[in-house]
Amino acid sequence: MKDLILQSMKAILKKYPEIKGYLTGKAAEIAENGVEQYEKIPPVVGYVSRDEDWDDWKVTPDDIDRAVTAWNKAMPEYAGILDADVEIDPTKTVNDA
């Protein structure tokens, strides 16, 4: 997961360097210091399987809050990297994108 986040951040910063000014916390620190520095940290291996029907599965704001809290607790050196201020349009769904 860490590698995916860092790869995404690297690609976004390359394509949209102006986004640096909007980043805060650990994300801003990583953008300033360079993603490559953080790619050298070995990953924590783990896997969680879900035996559910994925067609009906929805991510709720509470799911996101719990995931971010778990991330911050499990990886304190990266706490805050997933923080973001997001406005949600209640008329749109994921499939509308």
Closest CA to 71 of 36, 26, 8, 12: 26
Q: At residue 49, does pLDDT exceed 80?
A: no
Closest CA to 35 of 15, 12, 7, 72: 7
Q: Please give the pLDDT value at position 84.
A: 78
| Stretch 49-57: mean pLDDT | 60
Residue spans per domain, the chain:
2-96
Q: At residue 20, does pLDDT exceed 80?
A: yes
pLDDT, tens digit, 9 for 90 and up, residues 61-71? 888 888 888 88
